[in-house]
Amino acid sequence: MSQLLSPETPILVTGGAGLIGSNIVYQLNRRGCRNLTIVDHLGLSEKWQNLRALDFVDYFEKDAFAALLKQDDTPQKYPLIFHLGACSDTTEPNASYLADNNYAFSKLLAQYACRHGSRLIYASSAATYGNGDQGFLDDTENIGVLRPLNKYGFSKQLFDLHLLHQGLLLNDNNGATFVGLKYSNIYGPNEYHKGKMRSMFLRAYEQITADGKVRLFKSYRPEYQDGEQVRDFLYVKDAAAMSIFFAENEGLSCRGLYNIGYGATRTWNDLAKAMFAALGLKPCIEYIDMPEDLRPRYQYLTCLDIGKIRRAGWTRQPLTMEQAALDYVQYLTTSAHVGEIDIDK
């Protein structure tokens, strides 16, 4: 095991109460890592419940921790940082808020990492790929030609570009190393707090259990039938394991940008059918109009090339959509408390 994952190592996890962050903390706990500091912004949401089943030594609100970073006065020195904290709302209208919350705070963490020789594993996003015209390849040289379709994706691209321009993405600085993970359509336990940004898997479960049908957007491009728009879907347990892989492996092949996805596409119709099957029901799908303001920004295709993480040494096969749907439905129907990730593969 990497020294970064020894029980004594102080580990910082921003966004630790969120979907990916809480699953990473859970898997770190299972490896014996409990000297964890979590940073998040709980606000009025219910995501505080995601923290109840996790072991950690301290918690800070994001703005309070940002002040400590500026003063270089954190309670511990963190050799390993998982930076998952961000506003992930792809419809967020306030670009200035995103620039501060997603970009400026990330730069503070990068400066901290350079001062203390930390390994910073951070959440980039597949949203940086925009409509996919430039492909979905996670090579560092490609960052500048990507054109995100929304302000959230742009805020993530800004930090990728910052590290590239600072010469940090592929080179260490005072021992500091950086890994950007381009997550794609992550779903699973601990996303109930995400409101309109919760996955279609959870929405499908809610719709099926409420009235026995799933509602999907109609297609507005002739090459795609209704419900046949495609995505690269990845279960959050696999996303967390793939993220931790970069704490286990620190070599030259494990720096820079990496796609974190399944590596193949499935349709929204597939998703609905998988959830019906997991519930033991026959599919019933209704196609509804897409909001007009969403149509120009809607992605009809995402498919991440995961060859790079494979070449770096990742060998495990992620759960299929059908396997993950069964696991997720079991969690949703049997967990006594939200926020408890208590079902193992």
Residue type, 317: Q
Q: How far apart, in Å, are the Cα atoms of 11 and each of 119, 247, 272, 317?
A: 10, 11, 38, 27
Kindly name the residue from 26, 152, 183, 328 that is annotated as catalytic: 152
Tell me if 115 sits within 8 A of 72, measured CB to CB. Answer: yes
Listed in sequence order, the residues at least 6 apart from 211 whose beta carbon sits closer than 8 Å to its beta carbon are: none
Q: What is the DSSP string of 274-306?
A: HHHHHTT----EEEEPPPTTTGGG--SB-----
Please state, in angstroms and rounded to a whole number, the distance separating the CA atoms of residues 177 and 105. 17
Own/partner pairs for 197-202, CB < 8 Å, 24+ apart?
197/88, 197/89, 197/90, 200/268, 200/271, 201/233, 201/271, 201/275, 201/325, 201/328, 202/332
- Residue 238 CB-half CA count within 13 A: 25
For the chain, how many residues are written? 345
Own/partner pairs for 128-135, CB < 8 Å, 24+ apart?
128/153, 128/156, 128/157, 128/160, 128/182, 129/153, 129/182, 129/302, 131/299, 132/299, 132/301, 132/302, 132/303, 135/305
Is residue 151 annotated as a catalytic residue, yes or no?
Answer: no
Kindly name the residue from 62, 107, 194, 308 that is annotated as catalytic: 194
Please state, in angstroms and rounded to a whole number, the distance separating the CA atoms of residues 295 and 269. 19
Is residue 194 annotated as a catalytic residue, yes or no?
Answer: yes
The two tokens of residue 160 are 């990728």
The dihedral region occupied by 59, where left means phi > 0, alpha psi between -120 and 50, and beta the remainder, is beta
Residue type, 342: D
Q: How far apart, in Å, are the Cα atoms of 289 and each of 220, 221, 225?
A: 9, 13, 13
Catalytically active residues are 152, 194
